[in-house]
A and B are shown apart, each in its own frame.
Chain A
């Protein structure tokens, strides 16, 4: 048997996390999409050399603590108001790269008004929309995006449209607006999807710095704790249930 010699040397390094991701232990559950999306955003900011120029706005929800993980300046907004906060930051610092990072409850329930109007004004920012069809942080209640029949803490017998209304696709709604230059829906549940998602993030950031208008990037995401599934089951469930209703791909631009 041939002798195997393993050498841990810097020149043999094939992968390392971007320095823009802090060493703080993430509070996200194992299997959650947030960690992957954070990493991609941090990598793109780093690759663009924009750490000093980037200001993020975090929401209320599971990603409320996003500011603990990506090493840039951050504002933590009131629930649903990230778009308004980001509007002011971008207007006052037109040369900065400004983005919001919001969940489905934050962006498409309590913050729908701010979300529509930031798009309609065509602010030169990026909106990252993490759609896992559930309220993660408060313990798995129904979101505006919860699928018909899906069980949550506030739809224990499944979402019934007669009682709870229908899930809706805000990405296709905002794509109608003049101020929006780019709308895409991505996922991060497979390595191939992760690579595509990263390209979308880069394009969105570049649009914002080119002054083309607002870029809206939705991520169809897993919440395996909220869905009460293992990470592997959640990825499968996402593919079989979420993606047919929220199909991935570019919607505009």
Chain B
């Protein structure tokens, strides 16, 4: 039977991790996402599903625990917020370099530095453009509701194992802290050690039986030509991801002359802006990228053929706007509107910016 609850976004991450049959969570407390680990510790999933939960001594340790757990072929998840994610970035590079599946949740806050503890989308570049050394990409999902915080944990694990690549859920302090209705999935069983060995025994650390050579989880190759072959393999993988996994949501785009592009919590605000603008007599639509990598470049390029202008509304100084400009290729004006440091715009403020920067631009 369907289970409906009123929950915080952060609590839902924990609940979804348990219910999707995750094997472990490793993390370190940081505002505004500490409820993830608090909820797990209260739920004690090691007594029910056998899921391991460890409070690490730092985000650096936590992400390396993720590396070890993912190397075992297990479903492992961590969560943090912006400064903590910066500390994890080295580990993400190693995880991508060793082609390991895992889920990393960033409930982002204002920066740079310690910044604020209020919501922000200033980590778009970090999430989508590598964020650490070496040529690699995370697959990035951007939830806009508490329900999506739940659903994307399941989706993120599916993608992580399908492509053997780290997947980030890029959320923010709004979605993490707000309470909404959520429909919880039924509990899925964790894979047994035997099932893990059967599915992932070709690469994972399961203990070396006589029947196979040893498995080594590593990102090291001193031969530049071998390393380049590996880099090309990653390039091909990311291309495949771009071809198959683009997800976005459209709102009132059929007749739209002007487009707002926004992701995550910002898209929730901009939905209202669309209604306000339509009441003012402007045909405005909204495109919400759900996957930030892969980015819905093709769809935005199509819209650029028929739309008169784009406003990219993000809670940052202008990051996703660069990807929108690349997609639009100068066929229509593209402007950015943002608030920063933890400040959040109202639907009216975005409507005003839309009028000023796009509809009535001189």
Contacts and interface: CB of A to CB of B under 8 A. Distances in A.
Chain A complexes with chain B = yes
Interface of A: 51-55, 57, 64, 67, 71-78, 81, 83-89, 91-93, 96, 113-114, 117
User: B62, B67, B69, B94 — which one has the most chain A CB atoms within 10 A of its CB?
Assistant: B67
A89 B68 contact: yes
A69 B220 CA distance: 16
A11 B92 CA distance: 53
Contacts of A53: 207
Given A71-B214, A92-B24, A78 B90 contact: yes
Interface string B70-114: 011010100000000000001100100010000000000000000
Consensus secondary structure, chain A interface: helix
Interface residues of B, number: 39
> Which 5 A/B pairs are nearest by Cβ-Cβ distance?
A88-B68, A85-B68, A84-B64, A76-B218, A81-B64
A84 B208 contact: no
Contacts, number: 121
8 contacts: A55-B205, A71-B214, A73-B206, A74-B214, A75-B217, A81-B64, A88-B65, A93-B193
B219 interface: yes
A92 B69 contact: yes
Contact of A76 (B58, B62, B207, B220): B220
Given A81-B91, A87-B54, A88-B69, A71 B208 contact: yes
Contacts of B69: 88-89, 91-92
A67 B214 contact: yes
Contacts of B209: 52
Contacts of B219: 76
Interface in B190-221: 193, 205-210, 214-220
B290 interface: no
B26 interface: yes
A114 B57 contact: yes
A52 B57 contact: no
A170 to B, nearest CB: 16
B61 interface: yes
A57 B67 CA distance: 11
Contacts of B52: 88, 91-92
Contacts of B60: 81, 84, 113-114
Nearest to A120: B57
B67 to A, nearest CB: 6
B252 interface: no
Contacts of B207: 52-55, 72-73, 93, 96
Contact of B54 (A67, A83, A91, A113): A91
Contacts of B26: 88
B353 interface: no
B91 A78 contact: yes
Nearest to B67: A85
Nearest to B100: A75
B340 to A, nearest CB: 32
Interface string B217-229: 1111000000000
B61 A78 contact: no
Given A67-B218, A73-B215, A92-B23, 20 more contacts: A55-B207, A67-B216, A71-B208, A74-B205, A74-B215, A74-B216, A75-B68, A76-B217, A78-B64, A78-B91, A84-B64, A88-B52, A88-B69, A88-B72, A89-B71, A91-B52, A91-B54, A91-B69, A92-B72, A117-B56
A148 B94 CA distance: 35
Nearest to A114: B61
A80 B206 CA distance: 23
B43 to A, nearest CB: 17
Contacts of B72: 88-89, 92-93
Contacts of A78: 64, 67, 90-91, 94
B57 A117 contact: yes
Contact of A92 (B74, B214, B216): B74
B66 interface: yes
